[in-house]
Chains A and B, each alone.
Chain A
């Protein structure tokens, strides 16, 4: 427990710069999860929002989604 606490202390409290960097990673993680959920649901409707999402989802993003869908998410 002490080991975990000291690690946590180092990353999230003492080493502020690294802590901030990790915040950006978490931000990316949140966007990634939400976007993947959107892809997974494949929801029809939401016409305007749907177009907007389609605009954001570039070709590369589609390939990535396809990869995840095929390889990991069945």
Chain B
């Protein structure tokens, strides 16, 4: 496990070094008041992630995604960027000293808030010493495609998710790289540094919006008491790969006006971050592009020389073209992937038949109406299907404080106002475009940025208005209360982890019943055996078995009789049937075991625990054989090939 943690750290350092090279290339050579050293480090890390993910994608398409190539790229990045990373470290030290100095001047109760907040920030990171905590989709797709890509050294549409594999990908390739390097159990933990970058940029936005240290602590406490954010750390999902650069892009968009001499560099960085965000999570396309472009134009208009509208456009158009060009550039590897596998480079946005999953409608009209009527309450208290996490109640509780804030003479010049309005537009765009796709992770970036006005209000009130109500006590006490509740949420997860680490429960008990069932298959199935699955969740299967699993076009639901179904399954080379009862939608019953099984086949139940059942299919007639087999053909990739004796 220690070796895996070291691989993870090394990989993070390589990302950081690669990003620092990109920042240099963007012409941003020094830390200024616009971007502190911590910001430059966080930006370097995110840019490095973006570059790496795209390099991995190209290598994976070409079938060159092997351990030695990945190590070579990482080492080259470390060598190239080491000096610039090291040169930033004294600045980080100074910032930490400044934070400690501010801490000593805080009142007692705020010191408690700060200590508890730091502890809750470290809490998800401490899970890095443990293994992957898999949840839903990651167990079904994100970590599974990473596993097959790492094993096959080549990316392929995932069996069972043939159409969905046209999705834009970033996080999955980092997982794959870490698995290739020998850190499969640490792969999902790569999200933790990504989440820390998000926190750094949220605080940077708070600072640029005029908040002091106290407001930043409030914003940080809000972030880490939002389960919509914390649930996504280390569970194998990839949403934070989109949300984190999204928040960073909002920050860098503030630097793109012409009073800043390095505005072109800032535009370049903003473009990469937007592109990275959209590539990681396609839902960020409508909610990031319009708000950030608005923010850029707004800043340029306010801070630029007063001139006519056409002169303004003429002056700034090259910068906007640069921004658009950089964003488009990030899409190229994914376009190549979709051209190779689907002959549709613009899929899933423009697709003949593989973009259907973009049109999602989760609820009926009455529920949709109730949902829309209860914004923002539903985001904080809702309990909807697939919502997966809530926003912090602190954002709602402190929201009325915004009315006490004293704006500048011209509110349009207020950074807080600009950022809040842009984020609000992002949220409204999502609500109007996908009203029933109600899950904060789909539009997390603008939602998190909306915390800022509540945090600013809370800071102002706690510093300036103590009478007649002691808000200087009420506010920190509220934060402490919610922090303690959040610890309790984590504790649902951690006792199980504690007992796993201390040996109270074994690996099977820790990872659940599907792990046990797949362990049976991993031990008994030969390389390349085909398994027909009635489940979405296959991460724990051996990589070759996943590669050989049933494809969407092999489902048997259109075949009428049970005998024909069995005959078809045998001819397609399936050796096992794995059934997870809640996922089979009645299909297993239609197979009618044993009466529907043809005479020449023998179907034996070989595993049955709880909802998990495994059947083995064997031919009694030696003259009969399947039409296809799954095997390696000159590479590590398992492919379906015609049967030859």
Give the CA-CA distance A38 to B388 in the complex, in Å: 17
Contact between B396 and A33, CB atoms less than 8 A apart? yes
Binding site of B, secondary structure by majority: helix, strand, loop or mixed?
helix
Measured CB to CB, the nearest residue on chain B to A49 is B484
Measured CB to CB, the nearest residue on chain A to B475 is A30
Q: Please, which residues of chain A bring their CB within 8 A of the CB of B393?
A: 33-34, 36-37
Q: Please, which residues of chain A bring their CB within 8 A of the CB of B397?
A: 29-30, 33-34
Interface 0/1 of A6-37, CB less than 8 Å to B: 00100110000000101111110110011011
Interface 0/1 of B415-457, CB less than 8 Å to A: 0000000000000000000000000000000000000000000
Which residues 452-509 of B sit at the A interface, judged by CB distance below 8 A?
A: 465, 468-469, 471, 474, 478, 481-482, 485, 488-489, 491
Give the CA-CA distance A38 to B488 in the complex, in Å: 11
Q: Please, which residues of chain B bring their CB within 8 A of the CB of A38?
A: 485
| A73 with B377, Cβ < 8 A, contacts A1-B411, A43-B488 known | yes
Interface residue? B378 (CB, 8 A):
yes
Contact between A23 and B478, CB atoms less than 8 A apart? no
| A20 with B468, Cβ < 8 A, contacts A33-B393, A37-B485, A43-B489 known | yes
B465: contacting residue among A23, A36, A41, CB under 8 A: A23
B400: contacting residue among A26, A37, A68, CB under 8 A: A26
A46: contacting residue among B367, B411, B488, CB under 8 A: B488
Contact between B401 and A26, CB atoms less than 8 A apart? yes
Contact between B491 and A74, CB atoms less than 8 A apart? no
Give the CA-CA distance A11 to B412 in the complex, in Å: 22
| A37 with B381, Cβ < 8 A, contacts A23-B469, A27-B469, A46-B488 known | yes
Q: Within the complex, what minimum Cβ distance (angstroms) separates A73 from chain B?
A: 5
Q: Please, which residues of chain B bring their CB within 8 A of the CB of A72?
A: 370, 374, 377-378, 381
Q: Within the complex, what minimum Cβ distance (angstroms) separates A7 from chain B?
A: 9
Contact between B381 and A36, CB atoms less than 8 A apart? yes
Give the CA-CA distance A48 to B557 in the complex, in Å: 55
Which residues 599-639 of B sit at the A interface, judged by CB distance below 8 A?
A: none
A45: contacting residue among B370, B377, B478, B488, CB under 8 A: B488
Q: Please, which residues of chain B bring their CB within 8 A of the CB of A25?
A: 400
| A24 with B482, Cβ < 8 A, contacts A29-B397, A73-B377 known | no
Q: Please, which residues of chain B bring their CB within 8 A of the CB of A66?
A: none
Interface centre among B367, B404, B468, B478 (most CB of A within 10 A): B404
Interface residue? B97 (CB, 8 A):
no
Measured CB to CB, the nearest residue on chain B to A11 is B403
Size of the chain B interface, CB-CB below 8 angstroms: 34
Interface residue? A54 (CB, 8 A):
no
Give the CA-CA distance A1 to B412 in the complex, in Å: 9
Q: Within the complex, what minimum Cβ distance (angstroms) separates A52 from chain B?
A: 12
Which residues 527-584 of B sit at the A interface, judged by CB distance below 8 A?
A: none
Interface residue? B380 (CB, 8 A):
yes
Give the CA-CA distance A47 to B398 in the complex, in Å: 28
Q: Please, which residues of chain B bring their CB within 8 A of the CB of A45?
A: 488, 491
B474: contacting residue among A22, A27, A36, A74, CB under 8 A: A27
Q: Within the complex, what minimum Cβ distance (angstroms) separates A39 from chain B?
A: 8
Q: Within the complex, what minimum Cβ distance (angstroms) separates B257 from chain A?
A: 21
Interface residue? A62 (CB, 8 A):
no
Contact between A73 and B478, CB atoms less than 8 A apart? no
Q: Please, which residues of chain A bring their CB within 8 A of the CB of B390?
A: 40
Interface residue? B182 (CB, 8 A):
no
Residue positions of B touching A, CB distance < 8 A: 367, 370, 374, 377-378, 380-384, 390, 393, 396-398, 400-401, 403-404, 407, 411-412, 465, 468-469, 471, 474, 478, 481-482, 485, 488-489, 491
Q: Name the 8 nearest CB pairs between A and B, nearest first.
A: A37-B393, A33-B397, A30-B397, A40-B381, A73-B381, A26-B400, A33-B393, A72-B374
Known: A72-B370, A73-B382. 10 other contacts (CB 8 A): A20-B468, A37-B393, A38-B485, A40-B381, A43-B488, A46-B488, A72-B374, A73-B381, A74-B367, A74-B378
29 residue pairs of the A-B complex, CB under 8 angstroms, read A8-B403, A12-B403, A12-B404, A23-B468, A23-B469, A24-B469, A25-B400, A33-B380, A34-B481, A34-B482, A36-B381, A37-B381, A37-B393, A37-B482, A37-B485, A38-B485, A40-B383, A46-B488, A72-B370, A72-B374, A72-B377, A72-B378, A72-B381, A73-B374, A73-B378, A73-B382, A74-B370, A74-B378, A74-B384
